[in-house]
Structure 1
Amino acid sequence: MKRKLLNKELNRLDVKAFKDAPKTPLILVLENIRSLHNIGSVFRTADAFLLEKIYLCGITATPPHKDIRKTALGATESVTWEYEKDSLSLINRIKKTHHCMAVEQAEGAERLDTFIPLPDKPYVFVFGNEVKGVSQEVVNACDGVLEIPQLGTKHSLNIAVSAGVVVWDFWTKLNRQKKMF
C-alpha cells in the first residue's frame, strides 16, 4: 500500500523561492478568456511548471478577483503576470525575442504530439476565447500554430485543460532534451 504524502512533505517552494528560481522559458498569453475559473487554473499550471510569465489580454479578467483566487490557490502571487489590452500588439512586440505559437485548430497547424521545441529559444503559447478561440489576426501574427489532436465528437477542450496539456508536453520535451545534451 502507498501512503499519500502530507502537504508539508512535498517540499514546495514559497513565493520568494519561486520568484528566485530559474524559470521554464515559456510565456502564456490568454486572449479574451471569459471564465475566471479558467484563468485561475492556468495560473496554477504556470506555477506548477515554473513558467516565466502570463499575459492577460482583452476581456480577460485580472487578479485580484475572488473567482480567480478560488482556482489559482495563491498562484497569482507567485507567477508574474501583466495585463495588455491589445494581444496583437503584444505578439508583434514579443515575437522579436520569443517563438510565438497559437494553440488553435488551423490549416497547416503542427500537431502537439509531433512538435519538438527548439532547445535554445524561449516560447510564447497563445490561448484564446472559450467560444471563438485565438483571433485570426493573432494566429496570422504568430510564428506557428499548435493543435492538440482530438479523436472524439467535440471540437475543442476547455482552455484550462488545453493549457495543462500543452504546458506539460512542452516541459516534458524540453527537459528530455536537456538530459540528452
Structure 2
Amino acid sequence: MRKWSMQELGRKSVEDFKQADKTPLVVVLDNIRSMHNVGSVFRSADAFLIEKMVLCGYTPRPPHRDIHKTALGATETVAWEYAETTVEAVQSLQANGYKVYAIEQAEGAVFLHDFHPGKEKIAIVMGNEVEGVSDEVLDICDGCIEIPQLGSKHSLNISVAAGIILWALTEKSVFHKP
C-alpha cells in the first residue's frame, strides 16, 4: 500500500473548483467564536464541493491568518457571504426556496441517518460553540437534524459536527450527480 501523490489525487485548481457543479447545500454559521473552527468548516466545505457558506453575526471572516491556518486555502475556493444576523440569513435562504435545518439536539429533531431531504435545496445552520443554534433561529428553521451520540458528553466540536453532516448529506444519493 502507498499513499496517492498530489498529482494522482487530481485536485481541482481554484478556477476548476469555482466552475465545478456544487453539492446543493449551504452552510450557515451562527455566531461561531473560533477562527480555527471557521477555517475547519471552510476546509470541509471545500472537500465536499459545498455551494456556499454564510457567516453570521460575530463569526470571524476571511481574510485572517488564524482562519487560513486551518482552511488551507479553502477560503479561496468556497463561496461565502456575510449576514449581520443569522435570522436574516435564514429568512433570505427560505425566500430563495431553501429548506433550512438547524443542526441541534432538540425536541422533534430527526436523527441524521433518518433524514431524507428529497430534491429540495438545503441549508444547514451550525450553532455557537457554547450555546448551539440560537433559540430565535431554531424557531424559524424548517426542521432540525441531530447527530446521534452514544457517549457521556453529547456534544461535538462544531468542526467535527460539520464534517459529519457535510459527508452524510453529500453521501446521500440525492446529492450525487451522474
Match of 2:116 in 1: 116
Match of 2:71 in 1: 72
Match of 1:130 in 2: 129
User: Equivalences for 1:100-115 in 2 at 5 Å?
Assistant: 100-115=100-115
How far apart, in 1, do the equivalents of 2:81 and 2:59 lie?
A: 11
Say which SS state the counterpart of residue 172 (structure 2) adopts: helix
Q: Percent identity?
A: 54
Q: Is the 8 A contact 2:109 2:145 kept in 1?
A: yes
Match of 1:145 in 2: 144
* Residue type at the aligned position of 1:98: Y
How far apart, in 2, do the equivalents of 1:35 and 1:67 lie?
A: 9
TM-score, with length taken from structure 2: 0.96
**Structure 2 stretches lacking a partner, 5+ long:** none
How far apart, in 2, do the equivalents of 1:122 and 1:174 lie?
A: 14
Q: How many residues align?
A: 177
Say which SS state the counterpart of residue 95 (structure 1) adopts: helix
How far apart, in 2, do the equivalents of 1:98 and 1:175 lie?
A: 15
* Residue type at the aligned position of 1:112: L
How far apart, in 2, do the equivalents of 1:114 and 1:136 lie?
A: 23
What is the RMSD computed on CA atoms of the aligned residues? 1.3
How far apart, in 2, do the equivalents of 1:178 and 1:9 lie?
A: 22
How far apart, in 2, do the equivalents of 1:177 and 1:40 lie?
A: 25
CA displacement, residues 47-105 of structure 1 (integer Å, 9 cap, x when unaligned): 01111000000110000000100000000000000111111011112113101000001
Match of 2:169 in 1: 170
Q: Deviation above 2 Å: which 4+ runs of structure 1?
A: 174-179
